[in-house]
């Protein structure tokens, strides 16, 4: 049979910790996936905005203006790694990458029918191919590469911190439960042990008066009850002794009364015999 402390840990704290940890893992996976999809949705909206802002420069093939707009988007507005604009034939018009000039992407007319195209390049790097149109005509293609690695890393760190806080809360709960065990459950178990001794006839038991206010009140009530029972027992013993003494006195009085009656009967018998003898002598 487990002790009360063990039962609290096995059937309350441990299942709560296990269920909480599993739920947290699944929730983190679900929320993380939803967060990344939300970033990708924001990237689609951002790509459409940029394509509208460079439409005129692309149509006029104003390379300096187009490059300035792309750089302004790259370093002040858009959380992107690189931007590049291509002619309908697939040749590069302008780009912001500092590493290397983007390779031509080939004719873009086949891409416009499907609208914005997207793909992941590994990890959290996300690339969008956004058609640039003027009315019904395709005037170019913009490729935007977003790197969400740092954003997702910050998201992971936030989740790790939340997980640590949750585990800290569970440990704090465990400590509080152990504290509860020491201040309430242990005194109750001690009271149960003392009460068992009391039921077996040990009238000298005493519950230590210490601990929380409720525990002190419980111990004081128990000790008062024990003293009351002891006093009642002593009163009953005294009354029993008085009754036994009175019964003994009554029995002694009854014996004395019987002895007197027997004595009187004997005397009467002797007088009758004496009178009979006296009459016989007179006759």
Q: What is the CATH number of the domain that holds 15?
A: 3.30.450.20
Q: Which residue has the tokens 């029972």?
A: 229
CA distance 202 to 247: 30
Based on the domain organization, do 8 and 140 belong to the same domain? yes
Contact between residue 46 and residue 78 where contact means Cβ atoms under 8 Å apart: yes
Q: Dump strand ranges (E) for the chain.
A: 82-86, 92-95, 117-120, 125-134, 137-147
189 falls within a domain: no
Q: And the tokens for 196?
A: 């068992």
282 falls within a domain: yes
Question: What pTM does this model have?
Answer: 0.51
CA distance 218 to 194: 13
CA distance 24 to 18: 10
Based on the domain organization, do 151 and 233 belong to the same domain? no
211 falls within a domain: yes
Residue 203, classed as helix, strand or coil, is coil
Based on the domain organization, do 148 and 65 belong to the same domain? yes
Based on the domain organization, do 153 and 99 belong to the same domain? yes
201 falls within a domain: no
pLDDT in tens, the chain (283 residues): 455 566 666 666 677 777 777 877 777 788 888 888 888 888 888 888 888 889 998 888 888 998 888 888 877 765 667 888 988 888 888 888 766 667 666 665 555 444 566 666 667 888 888 898 888 888 889 988 888 888 888 888 888 888 888 788 878 877 777 777 667 677 777 777 788 777 777 777 777 766 667 677 777 887 888 888 888 888 888 888 889 898 888 888 888 888 888 888 888 888 887 777 777 776 6
Structurally, the chain folds into a number of domains equal to: 2
186 falls within a domain: no
171 falls within a domain: no
Range of the domain at 156: 4-160
């Amino acid at each position: 049979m487990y002790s009360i402390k063990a039962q609290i840990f096995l059937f309350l704290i441990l299942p709560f910790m296990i269920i909480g940890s599993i739920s947290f893992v699944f929730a983190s996976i679900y929320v993380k996936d939803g967060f990344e999809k939300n970033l990708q949705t924001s990237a689609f909206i951002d790509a459409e905005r940029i394509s509208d802002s460079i439409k005129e420069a692309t149509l006029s093939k104003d390379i300096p203006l187009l490059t300035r707009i792309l750089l302004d988007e790259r370093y002040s507005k858009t959380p992107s790694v690189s931007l590049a604009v291509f002619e309908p034939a697939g040749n590069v018009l302008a780009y912001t990458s500092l590493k290397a000039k983007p390779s031509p992407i080939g004719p873009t007319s086949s891409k416009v029918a499907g609208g914005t195209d997207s793909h992941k390049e590994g990890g959290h790097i996300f690339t969008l191919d956004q058609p640039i149109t003027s009315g019904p005509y395709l005037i170019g293609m913009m490729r935007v590469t977003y790197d969400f690695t740092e954003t997702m890393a910050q998201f992971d760190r936030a989740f790790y911190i939340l997980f640590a806080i949750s585990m800290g809360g569970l440990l704090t709960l465990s400590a509080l439960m152990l504290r509860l065990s020491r201040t309430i459950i242990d005194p109750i178990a001690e009271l149960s042990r003392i009460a068992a001794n009391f039921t077996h006839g040990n009238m000298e038991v005493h519950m230590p008066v210490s601990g929380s206010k409720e525990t002190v009140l419980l111990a004081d009530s128990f000790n008062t009850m024990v003293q009351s029972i002891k006093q009642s027992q002593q009163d009953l013993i005294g009354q029993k002794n008085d009754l036994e003494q009175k019964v003994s006195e009554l029995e002694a009085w009854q014996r004395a009364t019987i002895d007197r009656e027997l004595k009187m009967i004997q005397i009467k018998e002797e007088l009758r015999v004496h009178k009979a003898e006296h009459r016989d002598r007179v006759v």
